[in-house]
Amino acid sequence: MALTALDPRTALVVIDLQNGIAAMPVQPHSGAEVVARTAELADAFRARNLPVVLVRVSFAADGADAVPGRTEQQRGARSHPEGWDVIVDELSGHPGDTHVTKRNWGAFHGTGLDVQLRRLGVTQIVLTGIATSIGVESTARAAYEHGYHVTLATDAMSDADIEAHRGSVERIFPRLGETGTTAEILELLAKTHAV
């Protein structure tokens, strides 16, 4: 399905494009490709005075803020190298951007993201990031549940598991919003939001 609209107050919400995650091996697009396409979107949003939200995941060194609960799959270690949770250089350094730190998969739970977006008058979000089936999908589901229009830039996201990526893009995202490529979103943005 083609993209139909971008609301007057649409925000770009970038999920976990930070040093340690953008460097991971992902498919079908490399971390560098995801970062480059997201940076292109971010520049276009900033040029139109539309909000850019940079979300990162981070945890206390002692694990005190780890999400509790039993899981069948072992969780990754909480010990990370210095700077792993710093937003990549290609996206950082813009004082007008909103920064959100999350401790969960999704960017809404336990953060002030919803309040910040509503204060800015945002009614729609465009999502990018890594990993498609975890942080991006969790955030898309919550955005939909919070009443936002959701657009997903499918070539500006990737996953460690290609089947999980495909499942999100092909089965889940069409139920939560509209999908499109970076080029399609940029084209619609140029048509509907003057610089």
Q: Tell me which of 2 and 188 has the higher pLDDT.
A: 188
For the entire predicted model, the pTM comes to 0.93
Is the pLDDT assigned to residue 81 strictly greater than 80?
A: no
- Would you state the pLDDT for residue 161? 97
| Residue 84's pLDDT band (cuts 50, 70, 90) | confident
Mean pLDDT, the chain, as a whole number? 92
Q: Domains in the chain, please, with CATH? A: 10-59+85-192 (3.40.50.850)
CB atoms within 10 A of CB 192: 13
Is the pLDDT assigned to residue 168 strictly greater than 80?
A: yes
- Would you state the pLDDT for residue 22? 96
